[in-house]
Amino acid sequence: MNIILLSGGSGKRLWPLSNDIRSKQFIKIFKESDGSYESMAQRMYRSIKKIDAEAKVTVATSKAQVSTIHNQLGEDVGVSVEPCRRDTFPAIALATAYLHDVLHVGEDEAVVVCPVDPYVDDDYFAALKKLAELAEKGDANLTLLGMEPTYPSEKYGYIIPESKDPVSRVSRFKEKPDEETAKKYIAEGALWNGGIFAYKLGYVLKRAHELIDFKDYDDLYEHYGDYTKISFDYAVVEKEPSIQVLRFDGLWKDLGTWNTLTEAMSEKIVGKGEMSDSCDNVHIVNDLDVPVLAIGVKDVVISASPEGILVSDKTESSYIKPFVDKMKQPVMFAEKSWGTYLVLDVEKESMTIKVTLHAGNAMNYHSHDHRDEVWTVISGIGRTVVDGMIQYVKTGDVVTMQAGCRHTIIADSELQLIEVQIGKEISVHDKHKYKLEI
């Protein structure tokens, strides 16, 4: 199978565990049999590989998420990077061009597109495989996965099939109606559109060329910011006469809020936490190394991370975004392909960060104009390069870099250090990168 996983999200609805870099799909909250935790993205990728070990998986995402994707899914996963946000049609067009021009996938091969973050079970992945088979057969230009609706939702599009067969032609497709109209569609036997569909690669490539002026993947990427923001549903699905739908009545949930996420959790406490027996329908999700205690509260989610602390009624938690927008806080924790960083302290003229580098990885070779830096190695071994001079470092060693000097550190084992930035102007934009030659 060729699968495109759409990975977007602003990281606001599940604050403080999520941010612009670590969106909800990367939060490690689902407990495995060995006691470890995995994220929605890891769960999705693992399950795809379980049903098809040879599946070619490409994640369509923003530049900010690339390091986290490689950190969690490894280096073998394909990544189609959006230079800027342009909604699902340009994103799918770009990823399809990436498959064709970079990975050399043929125009007659089937491609399945789905979100990276639904909460599903094995039946869902069997349905993805069936979608690919139907698309490859070619009876329709688009094959959708239709979910059996449970209520007249206004946040989903509606697929109205011609029959009640497991696979049916589609008579109409309607985007996100109001509640009364949704009730009428459901009475007609409509299915929810979950944004999961399949096609032959050449079909979407042709539609992309009809709607966007570009030559190939490189040209599309270069001019991506010039294209109109539009969803795939509006640009393609609503205008396509040749569509079929595969019915699906298995587990499928959008865990987009704290309320829905906690419903899917197998335990009430993740991280350090305690609650009294008088608590009812309470979840604690703690990303900090300090305990959280809940006594006598009901229908509440408590979440703590380096970004902040949330205490919210579960139903009210869906209204979190405007409050997060007001705070405008910098990212305090992020996973990267090389490891992680955690901001420990921010003062007027200093910032203290804990950095973890995986073995064999290194920081960029870089310099700063307006700040000095001090590294203290707290575990592991590695090598620093400061203005071309190599020095071996171990636990307890301290390295000082003045503003303007070029520097990096290479981890020969798992390596942790405390980085203290000192200066009157501390900014993520104060950084120059260089090619390292040693």
Express each pLDDT in 2-38 by its tens digit.
Answer: 999 999 766 688 999 887 667 888 888 888 888 888 9
Mean of per-residue pLDDT scores for the chain: 91
CA dihedral 169, 174, 178, 183 (to 10 degrees): -10
Judge whether residue 308 has pLDDT over 70.
yes
Q: For the domain 338-434, what is the CATH superfamily, name and number? A: Jelly Rolls (2.60.120.10)
Residues of the chain with pLDDT > 90, as a percent, come to: 65
Measured CA to CA, the distance from residue 109 to residue 91 in angstroms comes to 19
Beta bridge partners of 355: 341, 417
| pLDDT score for 175 | 76
Q: Which pLDDT band holds residue 137 (cuts at 50, 70, 90)?
A: very high
Asked whether residue 229 carries a pLDDT value surpassing 80, the answer given is yes
Task: Report whether pLDDT(298) > 90.
Answer: yes
Give me 38's structure tokens: 């995995």
Average pLDDT of 146-153? 88
Indicate the helix (H) or strand (E) that contains 270.
Answer: strand 269-270
| pLDDT for residue 273 | 97
Quick one: average pLDDT of 87-108?
A: 96
Q: Which two tokens stand for residue 284?
A: 């604690």
Burial code of 164-190, b = ≥16 C-beta within 10 A, e = fewer? eeeebebeebbeebeeeebeebbeeeb
Looking at the domain that runs over 2-254, which CATH code has it been given?
Answer: 3.90.550.10
pTM listed for this prediction: 0.79
Q: Would you put residue 136 in left (φ > 0), alpha (ψ -120 to 50) or beta?
A: alpha
Look up residue 209 and give its two tokens: 């060329």
| Average pLDDT score over residue span 152-170 | 89
* Residue 430 identity (one-letter amino acid): D
Structure tokens at 245: 């739908």
Joined tokens for residue 163? 């029959």
Locate the domains of the chain by residue range. 2-254, 267-319, 338-434
pLDDT in tens, 231-283: 998 899 888 999 999 999 999 988 888 998 998 888 999 999 999 999 999 99
What distance in Å separates the CA atoms of residue 77 and residue 157, rounded to the nearest whole number? 30
Across the range 386-407, mean pLDDT stands at 96
